[in-house]
Amino acid sequence: MAAIPVSPLAPKSYPDLPAIAGVRFATAEAGIKYKNRTDVLLVGFEPGSSVAGVVTRSKCSSAAVDWCKANLPGGVARGLVVNSGNANAFTGIKGQKSVELTADIAAKALGCAPNEIFIASTGVIGEPLDAGKFSGVLDQMATRLDDGPWMDPAKAIMTTDTFPKLSGATVEIDGAEVRINGIAKGSGMIAPDMATMLSFVFTDMAVSAPVLQALLVKHVATSFNAITVDSDTSTSDTLLAFATGKAEGVAPLESLDDPRAEIFGEALRDVLFDLAIQVVRDGEGATKQVSIHVEGATSDASAFRIAKAIADSPLVKTAIAGEDANWGRVVMAVGKAGEPADRDKLSIRFGDLLVAKDGERATGYDEAATSAYMKGEDLELTVGLGLGEGRATVYTCDLTHGYITINGDYRS
């Protein structure tokens, strides 16, 4: 298969993220699947670092996900190992052994306990992962940990991504600067619960594990869990957040009632949201990003389900690819969501352009203006249900020949 071209929605430039006190990393070429590129990331955390995480709800989660689930309740992290090219998913008892061996090797290299090591794997499903390959590699990496550049870990975790994904925020707390850096990877097999597929966020703020977990769960709902590329959910989706507490002059954040929790939470949300949108913009074959807003639903949850039905509809997504303001297909998707909806109260807008109102084509519908709008790269689609106050937004991309080529063109 020919190389996949970089997404037309890729960022024009990348942020130069600052060092995070207490976080040091290295990347390497372990040769798990790829050649001539880094495919393994080792991150070391200073003692006292806390961890929180959200993982896939797949009933067939990978061995690495199971490992993280088992160790997250401990709330303590000293290391993170991520490999790309092999997801170590659906590899039976071999997969579990492979994860245990990886944790042992990393723990020895970093001088900590295996259950303080977090692990994520991404790539092919069903192929046994030979963790022995990490043996010399992780030891060697541990000798050259550094605090930058952040482009390196962002690149090492890529699979079918066409661009690396980084985001950062700084926020003033207690008169000091607190930093949050994040990286992510993901392009296909992306849908809520979780959609990452992988994302790692690092801060020098001291945040207790329960508070970090609560903030992560809150803000993942409107970021990674509000995006969909193709409605498919990975067996490996993992979002982990690490807090080193090494920012000087900042008291630990140990309660959600602490007013600083909201300030820190908003900055965390900005980073998560930015990374999630980058994943959508790298959606396989994507040529347009679409924000699907649903308002006037009977509840926020109902609005979300309707927005997701629209965002996942192949007919809506192909119409957007064709720059066709096909609101009939939007009505179809609203109808199939199974949520309360009254056909004759529906309104639909593309951007600011009202195309349908009260169950029929809007008076004054301007086909030329709507067609012109649809040629844009960033589209807003708003559905008003007229039933209540519930609202939600889901972010997606169009469905193009590119998606079929990437996922189905093996025969050539």
What is the rounded radius of gyration, in angstroms, for the C-alpha atoms of the chain? Answer: 22
Instruction: Find all residues with CB under 8 Å of 177, minimum gap 6, and list them.
Output: 170, 171, 247
CB of 411 to a copy of itself, least distance (A): 6
155 is in an annotated binding site: no
Cβ proximity to a copy of itself: between 169 and 194 the closer is: 194
137 vs 34, 63, 64, 105, CA distance in Å? 15, 21, 19, 10
Q: Is 196 designated active site? A: yes
Phi, psi of 196 (to 5 degrees): -55, -60
Q: From the CB of 95, what's the least distance to a copy of itself, in Å?
A: 8
Least separation in angstroms between CB 73 and a copy of itself: 21
Q: How many CA atoms lie within 13 A of 388 on its CB side?
A: 13
The answer on whether 7 is annotated among ligand-binding residues is no
Cβ atoms within 10 Å of 257's Cβ, excluding its own: 7
Polymer length of the chain: 412
If phi > 0 it is left, if psi is from -120 to 50 it is alpha, else beta; for residue 75 that is: left
Burial 299-335 (b: 16+ CB within 10 A, else e): beebbbbbbbbbbbbeebbbbbbebebbbebbbebbe
Residue 133 Cβ vs a copy of itself, minimum distance, rounded to whole Å: 19
Residue 123 beta carbon to a copy of itself: minimum distance, rounded to whole angstroms: 10
Closer residue to a copy of itself, CB minimum distance, 36 or 93 = 93
* Residue type, position 84, single letter: S
Residue 232: phi and psi, rounded to 5, are -90, 140
Q: What is the DSSP letter of 332?
A: H
Closer residue to a copy of itself (CB): 94 or 108? 94
Q: Please answer whether residues 105 and 130 qualify as being in contact, where contact means their C-beta atoms are separated by less than 8 angstroms.
A: no
**What DSSP character marks residue 253?**
B
Has 231 been labeled as part of a binding site? no
The smaller minimum CB distance to a copy of itself, of residues 295 and 312, is found at 312
Q: Tell me whether residue 76 is exposed, middle or buried, using C-beta atoms within 10 angstroms of its C-beta: 0 to 12, 13 to 18, 19 or more.
A: middle
Residue among 56, 102, 196, 287 flagged as catalytic: 196
Residue 412 is labelled as binding a ligand:
yes
Q: Does 196 show up as a binding residue in the annotation?
A: yes
Nearer to a copy of itself, 299 or 405 (CB): 405
> Residue 394 half-sphere exposure, CB side, CA atoms within 13 Å?
29
Residue with tokens 């067939």: 60
- Minimum CB distance to a copy of itself, residue 29 (Å): 24
Nearer Cβ to a copy of itself (127/254): 127
Residue in the block written with tokens 């809007």: 362
Residue 298 annotated as binding site = no
Positions at the binding site for substrate: 159, 185, 196, 284, 407, 412
Report the catalytic residues: 196
